[in-house]
Structure 1
Amino acid sequence: MPDKLHLLIPLAASPAPGCQQALQGLQLPQLERLLARLTPAGADAGEETDFSPPHERALARHLGLPASSAGTTPWAAWARADVPAGQACAWVTPCQWQVGADHVTMPDPQQLRLDEADSRALLAVLAPWFAQDGIGLEYDAPTRWLARGAALQGLATASLDRVVGRDVRAWMPDAAGARTLHRLHSEMQMLLYTHPWSDQRAARGLPAVNAFWLHGAGALAERPAPVALPEMPQALQQAALREDWSAWAAAWQQLDAGPVARLAAHVAAGGQARLTLCGERSALQWDTAPRSLRQRIQGLFGRQRLMDLREQL
């Protein structure tokens, strides 16, 4: 039997005033058509302050990983097949912290224009400092390195999706339980401030890299059985991070005409499917499970609109 199709949509709604205004006139006929044929399959209620956003929790459950709101899903251990069971690891993302009078914000690390050569050179600069605390660093991608070490076991870390464009101080791990990480942050900022690597970047007109973000920490007791990944469009999320709500509304209309319409047609033809809508706080899920008579009647005569669901997300 083929896998059930799963469409998982991050940032389907946001409590931001701009998003609420964009929702007022948003028409999504294919989403309404799809919801009329699906059965509610539960909610994952959370808070905007959770270290793990709802879409990451939903993806973790889909994959058979621990789906904690506290930021303890071992994403790095899952993504790398060469990480043995029980070994604690994490992702390290080089980034920039912009220090203001009353805030410290992190722009999207993808804006740093960090290529593989620069990233590897920076890793060589920082690796000895991490090694002093028993943490090994390995290159994975320009803005993502793999860290391994016992200090990463059980460490609760905030997702990059929570931190980009926001004040990082609200998302730092608890100082009492992450003294090593806090000290490394301070050391890296002082080191990079005057390091020749940073001077060379500045001479080339490239953005400064003066910090790092550690995320996806933990260990896997055993690797879950592989499953097909859900379709997980990023357009809404990217527009929301920029707070460009007109682009967000346009992205929703494209999703409605594309992935949502295809899933609705699949369900109408008798196919099995799951839909997960995620906001800043919570997630709602629907499935092609059998519906009660009351649910079938509601599907015929009632409409579920995103506008009506926004408070639950």
Structure 2
Amino acid sequence: MSQITLVLPYLLPLPEFAPDLVRALQTPMLASLLARSTAHERGSAPDTSLALPHEQWLARALGLSPEGRPAFAAAAMRGFGLEPAGGTWFIVSPAHIQIARSHSMMTDARHLGLLEEESRALYDAARGLCEEIGRPLLYGDAGTWFLRADDWAGIGIATPDTVAGMDLTDFVPRGAAALAYRRLQNEVQMAWYTHPVNTAREARRLPVVNAFWLWGAASDPGPAAGNLASTGVPGWLRALSNRHLDSPGALDGALAQDGMLVVGSLADAALAADWHAWLQGVQQLEEKLFAPLHAALVQGRIRKLRLVLSSREAIAEFTTTAMAQRAFWRRPTLERLT
């Protein structure tokens, strides 16, 4: 029998929408897992200026930062087979920034649809500019590159999901090191402005890649992640995983031993505040994830299940067991989502 920790970012609705969304859900297995629990804890994240609650939780759980700082870069490099080799590394995320009259805003990177060959071409155009100023740039995947900048270690830059859809004025880094970062950003933007990749994307009415977002500073990859599986997550988090599931339904291997499963399929809808799509996503998880997990608990294939749920503002943990699921006098309810 195994012990499983299931991390579900964005399954907690925001308070202003929670009552209506919870009433619309038809998820009896999720209701049973939440209501028939042996432990329940919920709280607001003390500071979400640099990372969302689930990102802070992961940083602590994976031994990368006791304070919950999003220090993912070095560990993600190891997942891509790259050697951090000392120094301070950042994750570089190609991005599309929209400029409005009063503010600028970064689009959710999931909407870029950046192909591998497009990313490689943009990476090649940026690499020379980075190396000219002594900043090695390494390639991970289409949405995940890595930059070494030891003297920028103090820059506090938020994760892409923290800033997606928000006014970037509130997240622009300050200080001398930040000035050098913005200078490099401007040079790369100019190199990409008329790049054939962006010309072709514009012709196909796709968002152009007109900026990059630097974040996740780390110098130590930390301990190995252990048995960590993921599905529907960004490339940097997939790189931290031992295995990536094609869908939440591909559970059999993940349930065979103790471990953690991160399911990121609700992020797109939640960040876009598309609550109809969010409801559909939760209903799909009921069939592909919650029902199989409930069955595995009742059948004794899982000894203990911990659920870690979050929103942009809060995080909640629930622990349940086979014995707890037999407590028929506890009515299954989704009230704990509100």
What range is the shorter-chain TM-score in?
Answer: 0.7 to 0.9
Q: What SS class does the counterpart of residue 232 from structure 1 fall into?
A: strand
Confirm or deny: 8 A CA contact 1:22 1:246 kept in the other structure: no
Structure 1 unpaired stretches of 5+: none
Aligned to 1:251: 281
Q: 1:262 aligns with which of 292, 303, 306?
A: 292
Aligned to 1:282: 314
Structure with the higher fraction of residues in strand conformation: 2
Question: Which letter does structure 2 place at the counterpart of 1:244?
Answer: D
Question: Which letter does structure 2 place at the counterpart of 1:45?
Answer: S
Moved more, 86-95 or 99-108: 86-95
Q: What SS class does the counterpart of residue 55 from structure 1 fall into?
A: helix
Confirm or deny: 8 A CA contact 1:94 1:144 kept in the other structure: yes
Identity of aligned residues (%): 32
Aligned to 1:180: 180
Matched, 1:211 2:211: yes
Confirm or deny: 8 A CA contact 1:90 1:148 kept in the other structure: yes
Q: Distance in 2 between matches of 1:110 and 1:203?
A: 20
Aligned to 2:228: 228
TM-score (norm 1): 0.82
Q: Distance in 2 between matches of 1:228 and 1:109?
A: 23
Question: Which letter does structure 1 place at the counterpart of 2:9?
Answer: P
Distance change >3 Å, CA 13–CA 221, structure 1 → 2: closer
Q: What SS class does the counterpart of residue 209 from structure 1 fall into?
A: coil
Distance change >3 Å, CA 182–CA 15, structure 1 → 2: same
Superposed CA RMSD: 3.2
Q: Distance in 1 between matches of 2:280 and 2:11?
A: 12
Aligned to 1:161: 161
Q: Distance in 1 between matches of 2:29 and 2:150?
A: 48
Q: What SS class does the counterpart of residue 83 from structure 1 fall into?
A: coil
Moved more, 98-107 or 140-149: 140-149
Q: What SS class does the counterpart of residue 308 from structure 2 fall into?
A: strand
Confirm or deny: 8 A CA contact 1:188 1:211 kept in the other structure: yes
Matched, 1:239 2:269: yes
Aligned to 2:45: 46
Q: Distance in 2 between matches of 1:220 and 1:183?
A: 27
Q: How many angstroms does 1:124 deviate by?
A: 1.9
Q: What SS class does the counterpart of residue 262 from structure 2 fall into?
A: coil
Aligned to 2:241: none
Q: Over residues 232-256 of structure 1, what are the superposed CA-to-partner deviations in whole Å (9 max), with x where a residue is unaligned? A: 2223212112221011112112212
Matched, 1:114 2:143: no
Q: How many angstroms does 1:136 deviate by?
A: 0.9
Confirm or deny: 8 A CA contact 1:42 1:286 kept in the other structure: yes
Aligned to 2:5: 6
Q: Distance in 1 between matches of 2:100 and 2:113?
A: 23
Question: Which letter does structure 2 place at the counterpart of 1:15?
Answer: L
Q: How many angstroms does 1:9 deviate by?
A: 0.7
Q: Over residues 176-221 of structure 1, what are the superposed CA-to-partner deviations in whole Å (9 max), with x where a residue is unaligned? A: 5533222222333344335566445545655322111112221116
Moved more, 147-156 or 194-203: 194-203
Aligned to 2:145: 145
Question: Which letter does structure 2 place at the counterpart of 1:247?
Answer: A
Confirm or deny: 8 A CA contact 1:90 1:152 kept in the other structure: no
Confirm or deny: 8 A CA contact 1:96 1:211 kept in the other structure: yes
Structure with the higher fraction of residues in helix conformation: 1
Distance change >3 Å, CA 77–CA 179, structure 1 → 2: farther
Q: What SS class does the counterpart of residue 186 from structure 1 fall into?
A: helix
Q: Distance in 2 between matches of 1:31 and 1:287?
A: 13
Q: How many angstroms does 1:123 deviate by?
A: 1.5
Q: Distance in 1 between matches of 2:281 and 2:116?
A: 31
Q: Distance in 1 between matches of 2:43 and 2:78?
A: 22
Moved more, 4-13 or 46-55: 46-55
Q: How many angstroms does 1:15 deviate by?
A: 2.1
